[in-house]
Amino acid sequence: MALLQILRYPDPRLHTVAKPVASVDARIQTLITDMLQTMYEAKGIGLAATQIDVHERLIVMDVSEERDQPLILINPQLVWTSAETHLNEEGCLSVPGIYDGVERFDAVTVSALDGKGVARVVQAQDLLAVCIQHEMDHLMGKVFVEYLSPLKRNRIKKKMQKAQREEAQ
């Protein structure tokens, strides 16, 4: 197992559009193990491969209280979205310390391969639905701050750059 480095906003690599996973092989299984360990260690509820600079369509999540129900989505596709949307408070491991509201579908249905390469259909609502939409955005190169106003986004960008400059000293 290995802890992976999570890219921090405004790293331009976060805007890379991920390609489909060609085969759920040993390399992908190792990546899943390492991404789960990295997500749990960072106390996140999700992590997209984009965030660890791997540009393939792979997401790991766990929204359970006990942190014992990992969910793996490989090559996820949204097949249904609810008519209703809500503003939800979101955070992001690539934008630490920043939380803000994003409008998301209340419920979604996603088709994907699981960690063993088996085709699954996942129906999600509440926090899991929000997390899936947030992580699928990462795979498209989109970070949640891009839903915020240019003013807020610029403030966040400057704050992150300052924090990274200070960390480097």
List the x/- string, 52-81, binding to ligand K1U by CB under 6 A: ------------------------------
Alpha carbon separation from 16 to 3, 42, 54, 55, 113 (Å, rounded):
22, 22, 9, 7, 22
Give CA–CA dist 26/153, Å, rounded.
39
Chain position carrying tokens 């000293």: 169
- Toward ligand K1U, which CB reaches closer, 7 or 113? 7
Active site residue 135: yes
Give CA–CA dist 103/71, Å, rounded.
23
Give the nearest distance from C-beta 44 to Zn ion in angstroms: 8
- Toward Zn ion, which CB reaches closer, 24 or 102? 102
- Number of residue whose CB is nearest Zn ion: 92
The dihedrals phi and psi of 162, each to the nearest 5 degrees, come to: -65, -45
Tell me: does residue 131 bind ligand K1U (CB under 6 A). Answer: yes
Question: 27 Cβ partners below 8 Å, 6+ apart?
Answer: none
Give CA–CA dist 50/19, Å, rounded.
10
Of 45, 110, 122, 156, the one binding ligand K1U (CB under 6 A) is 45
Q: Which of 103, 135, 166, 167 is catalytic?
A: 135
- Residues making contact with ligand K1U (CB under 6 A): 43-48, 90-94, 130-131, 134-135, 138
Q: Which residues are catalytic?
A: 135
